[in-house]
Structure 1
Amino acid sequence: MRLLIALCLLVSSVYAQAPGEVYVTPKIDLHLQPVAVAGMENRTLNVPPGFVVELFAEDVGKGRLMAWSPDSVLHVAVMGTRGNSEWRADPNRTGRVVALPDRDRDGRADEVRTVADDLLWPNSVAFYQGAMYVADTDEVVRFRDGDGDGFYEEREVFIPDLATWIPGLGGAEHVTHTIVFDEANERIYVHQGSSCDLCRERDPERATVLAFNLDGTGRRIFASGLRNSIGLALHPLTGELWATNNGHDRDRFPNGRDLPPETIVIVREGGFYGWPLAHGYQAWVDFEVDEYFRSIAPFTREDTLDVERMEQPVAAVAAHTAPMAIHFYTGDQFPSEYRNQAFVALRAGVRGNDLGYKVMAVFSDPDGQNSQVGDFLTGFRPNPGNNRVWGKPVGLESDAQGALYVSSDHTTQAVFRVRVGPLMGQWEVGPPDTVLAGQPLDLSAAIALTRFDREAAEPVVSADLSALGGSAETPLTALGDGRYRLEAALTGAEANGRKQIAVSVAQNTAEGPFEIALSRTLVVLPAEDLAIADDELAAGWTAKAGLGLDSFDFDGSGPVFTGTAAGVLTADPLTRLLPWQLDMEPPAPIETVGYWALRLAIHPGDVVPAEDDVVEVVLESGGFQQVVLLGEGTGDYGLDLGRKEWQEIEVPLSAFGILDRPIETVRFAANLEGRFYIDDLRLVRTEFAVPTVVHEAREDATPQHFGLEQNFPNPFNSQTAIRYTLDRSQEIELKVYTLTGQHVATLISGHRSAGRHVLHWDGRDGQGRPLASGLYLYQLRAESERQTRKLLLVR
């Protein structure tokens, strides 16, 4: 009965969904580069080219959310902790609010001055009509500075009885609160987190956003299902309330490191946002996990109705990254694409698969549609291989001059200032996306400086072209007005892979010496197939036979597929349940970029077929990726041991899953007994052709099947060709999705005639914005058929 209830709830949700409703929002690559943090020794953070990071204030304490006072002084809510604890409040009520005045406007706070104290666990501060409001753990307190000395000595409880620690039990999951004044709608919003990770709340005000009148009366639940919405902010154009929301933390269960995604949502009156039933967009919690089921059961009809009215979030980001503040940037110092867009601070990451501990930008339409995210400030967790971090971002604010402020409440308890430096630039004409290995390249590109010191000496601009056989310091030609041309005759890269070129721009500005780097990644494709075993093992390769494989050598006296010899394997497995192995290792790991398949020919020799025969090919690429040629789970590769002849087999590399590292081993495994042969083992390169124009074309010959071909080039940077065939005229759709199923672009939707078609795509979404680097799915769908393939976009 329990399984039936859970499945009924799940089906009712999934049935109503179109592809892409449970997803992680596509990422934009903002091309971060490391910069030294001014004011700190041996600390670097990563920001887009041209931005500067400075220490604004140190020794702030456990600084949380921030606000500007009417006289333009930054104020920070500071929690008082017990000893060195990160989470235990000091019972002596050492929580406070500090002011960080910068009277000389030098970008560094003059002092850290306490302006209100005797608080327990303050999280948020706001100013309204001359008073300062502080959201403590159990109440909102209104402070006034009656004597004008800068310390707020007059205090009164403005909103009482907020959800906090449970009397007698001490602990509760969430005990912080955030306050936002909405003057246009004459409301105050206060968030209240859940008392647990995943449970049914007894207190209906838990996991909600409350609304009040501006005088603190009219208490009511504004929205529910928000487990912990620490970040609240009003959109500058629409006035709608946006919030960040933290998903549950039980990452020890299957897929727990990936689920649930954290979300950014538009909070509407009466809205339900999922917790504790669902996450993302109507995606039910996995109630087959017994602990989840016991926490929530029994289920009701109201539960289903609540989940069905969930709206799609603005954005869904990696699980367990703990979004904190959300802040809309309205200044004009940053490039125009940031204006009226959101920044979100992420305070965690070690429990999930994202590094976390960063600030990301959320780009979307004012109504939250067509969102994309991009890492804007990273580096607090510099080594992905361990969990050591040196800062945890929480609060976000920007000043009247357009600088962005970021508070860190643990490890480094400080406030950082991010601003635009004296140099910024962009590629005006980029280098080619793809080139052939070993082929000369006449490179022609150009950059444009959008910001530089016109009163200082001319910037020094050079390119590092060493990855393509050029000089590490190739000067660019100045064209005037901040524009520079890059021209070079290069020998080209010797091997395939992703290669980076970087243009360095340095200038002695009025602020002092400053340098930025504008980088681009080129995909170098192999010029020919990579032979592994033909008449012999390829140069530098080694072969190792495992137990059960008596010998492996090359001989021309038996069957030969190509050339003068074939690989001969003589096997006598110890048991049919334990396949023997032949490992072939290259002299150096092989980049898979530009290869699309592994091809080999097999001759069964004197092997006698049996029902339990197993033949596998395995690639070691940061893990072992297996394809079964014969046996349970066999793909359609046509291997028939009863046919005593050469059989050519081609396995697309995509069949091995995601090969995100170079190939270190090619393994042939089987439980066959006897003498048989392999020949012409090779990695097959993708056919290289350069698209010339962006258009859709059709060949007149009518094919005999419906099919979607692998895109080319793949990987690609700015343009790729997608070919497909239709055996009859029909309505079709060709769409692009993320690996988690979010629809990001529709390339075709309509009627197409029979024939072979080609479509050139520039890697942009439906709004014309460039998608971030990564793997994507593209799917051709017709009336009764569909096919899906993967492509790799490299920025």
Structure 2
Amino acid sequence: MRYLLRRVFRNSRQVRFALIEGRHVFIDKFLLHLQERLPTMRLLIALCLLVSSVYAQAPGEVYVTPKIDLHLQPVAVAGMENRTLNVPPGFVVELFAEDVGKGRLMAWSPDSVLHVAVMGTRGNSEWRADPNRTGRVVALPDRDRDGRADEVRTVADDLLWPNSVAFYQGAMYVADTDEVVRFRDGDGDGFYEEREVFIPDLATWIPGLGGAEHVTHTIVFDEANERIYVHQGSSCDLCRERDPERATVLAFNLDGTGRRIFASGLRNSIGLALHPLTGELWATNNGHDRDRFPNGRDLPPETIVIVREGGFYGWPLAHGYQAWVDFEVDEYFRSIAPFTREDTLDVERMEQPVAAVAAHTAPMAIHFYTGDQFPSEYRNQAFVALRAGVRGNDLGYKVMAVFSDPDGQNSQVGDFLTGFRPNPGNNRVWGKPVGLESDAQGALYVSSDHTTQAVFRVRVGPLMGQWEVGPPDTVLAGQPLDLSAAIALTRFDREAAEPVVSADLSALGGSAETPLTALGDGRYRLEAALTGAEANGRKQIAVSVAQNTAEGPFEIALSRTLVVLPAEDLAIADDELAAGWTAKAGLGLDSFDFDGSGPVFTGTAAGVLTADPLTRLLPWQLDMEPPAPIETVGYWALRLAIHPGDVVPAEDDVVEVVLESGGFQQVVLLGEGTGDYGLDLGRKEWQEIEVPLSAFGILDRPIETVRFAANLEGRFYIDDLRLVRTEFAVPTVVHEAREDATPQHFGLEQNFPNPFNSQTAIRYTLDRSQEIELKVYTLTGQHVATLISGHRSAGRHVLHWDGRDGQGRPLASGLYLYQLRAESERQTRKLLLVR
């Protein structure tokens, strides 16, 4: 039976613990003197904080939302010299307005003029407000509709640190650092000279208090529910607030009365927006600055949440989906302790966020796209501006698309606009996205408040296309390929000359400029006889489409990734080291060579290791390095044979295999943490061991070293060391097929092909007619697609899946779980999707 300790501090001198046995029961257990046992208590408390119940989508787990590839390509920013940004194929980026100042959030006036809240800064400072109150609101009229603002015109001034602007019933509302001001243009000259304080006493700078103060506010009018929402950030990075209105979203009546806390636990929710279909309030939330501490560049993820009345969203206790803050960090422990029972209950009522994205990227505005200009998959979906990135492991400084159901379920994210930080190797950026809006024609506007203080306009260009028939998902290395594919242009200039369409097939042994055949009405066929790729890995085919349109020359690229699978196993060591491989012995391994006079597993010789470890606590190492890093695509296991030779078994024996793939990934064959690999040093015979590559974790980089490590003493042998390719059998059934012979078991088979790109076959067997479900999940347990839900008869079945979620959106590349479930049985397997 599983027991969990949940800590609940009553005060600084005593602790109440909860003993949980399948349910939450709070029991006064004992009193502890913290001054005497503080180090031990902190460790215990931290462990208790990190323990959580295990569900399909486990509360307490740190995760990020699945990411899809929108196939960004660089485009020159129209109106700027030597600046490029990356957007999906077919989109263009234009400079709409420059020299805007520190432009933050934006809104459209009733007469369709874009307005921007502009902070007034002291000198060149990014975060010091100008005490002379030079904050303002500017209008950016585009009277001739040429996609460029005619002027940057101040329409309201004498503001300190304005962040947000909104329009309601003819008035303009500006959220400044200490109040919301209502402006009116009484004489109709375009300048809002009439002003009054609409909402006073908002949380602002605290005199004499330094640190991570959040003093910006965002205002949203919710006419359907007759509410106004205003966000208030925390006064610190992580602390207990004295002001209960800090780190909240406040609600007011439409006339500014009825002030109340609508939701809490939101450290800094600069982005607020109403969902166009549900009317619910969505928010972005900035997590605490964990990057100062070990492993902190990935923690905590930033979140996008649905804000519900009375909801608690974690800060300062937890983040994400009930994941407790790491209170082993002494600074955090001292800031928050003592803890209460209410703390635990608050964390346990946190809802799963819509999306969790990379830490320290500082989400700003959230905007729902309701236009018709962008492809249909963007309609009613959210865009989020990310203003930071250098403190985390994501490049940041971008606009991200968030795809989800209207209720926030089944979410995916994808980079939509990147390039403000062009070089991952340094921290130089040339723009910091903050505000987002779209106009009546469907163009998207992005404000940047620092380095480049401007507003950009993103729209669909004159060319846009898609794959109509894609290339195959997988091919074998070294095998010829008769390629047949097709693309369709969904947007092109029908009055201009025919587009020039060609493909770069050099990655598969073809020409870099292979012309496609025009079929009419914007459709093109790609056919080529290719020699194929020599090595396994992911190879890209790119189709270039160029046309001299009415807007001028325009070009897009449509790319697809093929998975090249190895045609055979990769031998590392058999009768000798494979060609080009080198071996290096150290730390007590005296020698490694090949000899045929002793035990041999295959061939004529085996590898002989003679070892005299320096200490039993420090394993010796044998490093084998390939002539070039090895792509793992298409290999599923590392196989070798071991003969114990004259080694005398001991209780503390350790045998490990390590792969260097970006970092060092270890599997223990013998010793503490041993997997079920069957190695027995007491059996003086050859023992064949096969370690799935999945046991090493996610190998997202090529293998640079294969390491054999042990603390054994004596002479023993290894042979037939190789990477084993995945065996792919040709499917014998087609979509919706079923064999009549009744199987004797319930079973789920490995999908084929695997990895796959555009389609894969999943086969399963039922020993009787029954209700079943076949679902796909991320590795964190998030449900992304239901492939079957209903009654199926006994027999062998097969279905084909195109790698899309329940809403028809393509899933991101990565590992997924697919599970077949019946009333009393279930089976789960993994598949790899490669885009």
Greater shift in the superposed pair: 621-630 or 485-494: 621-630
CA drift of 1:288 comes to 4.6
- Residue aligning to 1:573: 613
CA drift of 1:481 comes to 0.5
Greater shift in the superposed pair: 467-476 or 553-562: 553-562
CA drift of 1:123 comes to 0.2
Greater shift in the superposed pair: 706-715 or 50-59: 706-715
Greater shift in the superposed pair: 417-426 or 66-75: 66-75
CA drift of 1:591 comes to 0.7
- Residue aligning to 2:458: 418
Question: CA contact under 8 A between 1:20 and 1:737: conserved in structure 2?
Answer: no
DSSP-derived class of the 1:627 partner: strand
Greater shift in the superposed pair: 157-166 or 607-616: 607-616
- Candidates 504, 521, 540, aligned match of 1:500: 540
- Residue aligning to 1:732: 772
Q: 1:306 to 1:557 in 2, by over 3 A?
A: closer
CA drift of 1:335 comes to 1.1
Greater shift in the superposed pair: 560-569 or 699-708: 699-708
CA drift of 1:14 comes to 5.9
- Aligned mates of 1:538, 1:12 — CA distance in 2: 48
- Aligned mates of 2:241, 2:287 — CA distance in 1: 16
Greater shift in the superposed pair: 291-300 or 49-58: 291-300
- Aligned mates of 2:470, 2:192 — CA distance in 1: 56
Question: CA contact under 8 A between 2:52 and 2:60: conserved in structure 1?
Answer: no
Q: 1:410 to 1:790 in 2, by over 3 A?
A: farther
Greater shift in the superposed pair: 555-564 or 526-535: 555-564
CA drift of 1:758 comes to 6.5
- Residue aligning to 2:29: none
CA drift of 1:99 comes to 1.5
Q: 1:549 to 1:172 in 2, by over 3 A?
A: closer
Question: CA contact under 8 A between 1:619 and 1:663: conserved in structure 2?
Answer: yes
CA drift of 1:382 comes to 1.9
Question: CA contact under 8 A between 1:20 and 1:742: conserved in structure 2?
Answer: no
- Aligned mates of 1:593, 1:757 — CA distance in 2: 28
CA drift of 1:690 comes to 4.4
- Aligned mates of 2:309, 2:649 — CA distance in 1: 68
DSSP-derived class of the 1:257 partner: helix
DSSP-derived class of the 2:449 partner: strand
Greater shift in the superposed pair: 466-475 or 626-635: 626-635
Question: CA contact under 8 A between 1:686 and 1:712: conserved in structure 2?
Answer: no
DSSP-derived class of the 1:5 partner: helix
- Aligned mates of 1:81, 1:646 — CA distance in 2: 74
Q: 1:694 to 1:291 in 2, by over 3 A?
A: farther
Q: Deviation digits for residues 278-300 of structure 1, max 9, x if unmatched?
A: 32233333445443333333333
- Aligned mates of 2:678, 2:261 — CA distance in 1: 63
Q: Deviation digits for residues 595-625 of structure 1, max 9, x if unmatched?
A: 0011111122222222222222211111211
TM norm structure 2: 0.89
Question: CA contact under 8 A between 1:24 and 1:742: conserved in structure 2?
Answer: no
Q: Deviation digits for residues 198-230 of structure 1, max 9, x if unmatched?
A: 222221211222222222222222222222111
Q: 1:412 to 1:156 in 2, by over 3 A?
A: same
Question: CA contact under 8 A between 1:654 and 1:790: conserved in structure 2?
Answer: no
- Aligned mates of 1:510, 1:20 — CA distance in 2: 55
Greater shift in the superposed pair: 687-696 or 317-326: 687-696
DSSP-derived class of the 2:553 partner: strand
Question: CA contact under 8 A between 2:238 and 2:332: conserved in structure 1?
Answer: yes
CA drift of 1:486 comes to 0.6
- Aligned mates of 1:732, 1:183 — CA distance in 2: 45
CA drift of 1:87 comes to 1.3
- Residue aligning to 1:197: 237
- Aligned mates of 1:704, 1:297 — CA distance in 2: 59
Q: Deviation digits for residues 690-726 of structure 1, max 9, x if unmatched?
A: 4476658889999999987655433221233556789
- Aligned mates of 2:822, 2:296 — CA distance in 1: 35
RMSD: 3.0
- Aligned mates of 1:776, 1:625 — CA distance in 2: 21
CA drift of 1:688 comes to 2.0
Q: Deviation digits for residues 383-440 of structure 1, max 9, x if unmatched?
A: 2233222211100011121110000111211111100000000000101000111111
- Aligned mates of 1:585, 1:692 — CA distance in 2: 40
CA drift of 1:652 comes to 0.8
DSSP-derived class of the 1:15 partner: coil
CA drift of 1:768 comes to 3.7
Q: 1:754 to 1:508 in 2, by over 3 A?
A: closer
CA drift of 1:689 comes to 3.1
CA drift of 1:324 comes to 0.8
- Aligned mates of 2:494, 2:56 — CA distance in 1: 58
DSSP-derived class of the 2:292 partner: coil
- Residue aligning to 1:562: 602
Question: CA contact under 8 A between 2:58 and 2:781: conserved in structure 1?
Answer: no
- Aligned mates of 1:754, 1:7 — CA distance in 2: 48
Q: Deviation digits for residues 423-464 of structure 1, max 9, x if unmatched?
A: 000000101000111111111110000000000000000000
CA drift of 1:241 comes to 1.9
DSSP-derived class of the 1:14 partner: coil
CA drift of 1:362 comes to 1.5
Q: Identity of counterpart residues, as a percentage?
A: 100
CA drift of 1:535 comes to 1.6
Question: CA contact under 8 A between 2:57 and 2:782: conserved in structure 1?
Answer: no
- Residue aligning to 1:430: 470
Q: 1:20 to 1:572 in 2, by over 3 A?
A: closer
CA drift of 1:52 comes to 0.1
Q: 1:115 to 1:250 in 2, by over 3 A?
A: same
CA drift of 1:24 comes to 2.3
DSSP-derived class of the 1:590 partner: coil
- Aligned mates of 1:713, 1:580 — CA distance in 2: 40
Q: 1:786 to 1:543 in 2, by over 3 A?
A: farther
- Residue aligning to 2:31: none
Q: 1:370 to 1:657 in 2, by over 3 A?
A: closer
Q: Deviation digits for residues 95-137 of structure 1, max 9, x if unmatched?
A: 1111212222221222222222111100011122222211100
Q: 1:480 to 1:390 in 2, by over 3 A?
A: same
Q: 1:224 to 1:737 in 2, by over 3 A?
A: same
How many residues are matched? 795
Question: CA contact under 8 A between 2:232 and 2:269: conserved in structure 1?
Answer: yes
CA drift of 1:195 comes to 1.4
CA drift of 1:474 comes to 0.5
- Candidates 455, 474, 487, aligned match of 2:514: 474
> Which consecutive unaligned segments of at least 5 residues does structure 1 have?
none
Q: 1:699 to 1:208 in 2, by over 3 A?
A: same
CA drift of 1:477 comes to 0.5
- Aligned mates of 1:20, 1:750 — CA distance in 2: 32
CA drift of 1:755 comes to 9.3
TM norm structure 1: 0.93
Q: 1:785 to 1:546 in 2, by over 3 A?
A: farther
Correspondence 1:552 to 2:552 = no
CA drift of 1:306 comes to 3.1
CA drift of 1:20 comes to 9.6
CA drift of 1:789 comes to 5.3
- Candidates 80, 89, 110, aligned match of 1:40: 80
Q: Deviation digits for residues 173-211 of structure 1, max 9, x if unmatched?
A: 210011112223322221111112222222121122222
Greater shift in the superposed pair: 123-132 or 427-436: 123-132
Q: 1:582 to 1:94 in 2, by over 3 A?
A: same
Greater shift in the superposed pair: 463-472 or 193-202: 193-202
Q: 1:707 to 1:641 in 2, by over 3 A?
A: farther
Correspondence 1:84 to 2:121 = no
CA drift of 1:263 comes to 2.0
- Aligned mates of 1:518, 1:526 — CA distance in 2: 26
CA drift of 1:5 comes to 7.3
Greater shift in the superposed pair: 91-100 or 493-502: 91-100
- Aligned mates of 1:629, 1:268 — CA distance in 2: 50
Question: CA contact under 8 A between 1:123 and 1:178: conserved in structure 2?
Answer: yes
CA drift of 1:788 comes to 5.8
> Which consecutive unaligned segments of at least 5 residues does structure 2 have?
1-40
Greater shift in the superposed pair: 246-255 or 104-113: 246-255
- Aligned mates of 1:117, 1:727 — CA distance in 2: 76
DSSP-derived class of the 1:12 partner: coil
- Aligned mates of 2:449, 2:122 — CA distance in 1: 14
Question: CA contact under 8 A between 1:13 and 1:308: conserved in structure 2?
Answer: no
- Aligned mates of 2:99, 2:605 — CA distance in 1: 73
Q: 1:6 to 1:467 in 2, by over 3 A?
A: closer
